[in-house]
Amino acid sequence: MVVKKDRWYLVASRDGELRNYRVSRIHMAKVEKETFRRPLPFNLAAYWERSKAEFV
């Protein structure tokens, strides 16, 4: 989870690539038995800065 100003974002892997989802746009969630492991090494702050730069 990342906060930018007053908006929260979820960083998640989808089809093998990292994506950002605005939490306020998530209308439903379901608990699954599937688990995951964070990729090592993973630096959330560095990822978020790269993601912001690519978005601009």
What is the structure's pLDDT at 46? 93
- Rg of the Cα atoms in the chain: 12
Provide the whole-model pTM: 0.76
Q: Containing H/E element for 20?
A: strand 17-22
Task: Report whether 29 contacts 14 (CB < 8 A).
Answer: no
- The domain spans of the chain are 1-28
What is the structure's pLDDT at 30? 94
pLDDT in tens, the chain (56 residues): 999 889 999 999 888 889 999 999 999 999 999 888 888 889 999 999 999 888 77
Burial class (CB in 10 A: 0-12, 13-18, 19+), 2: middle
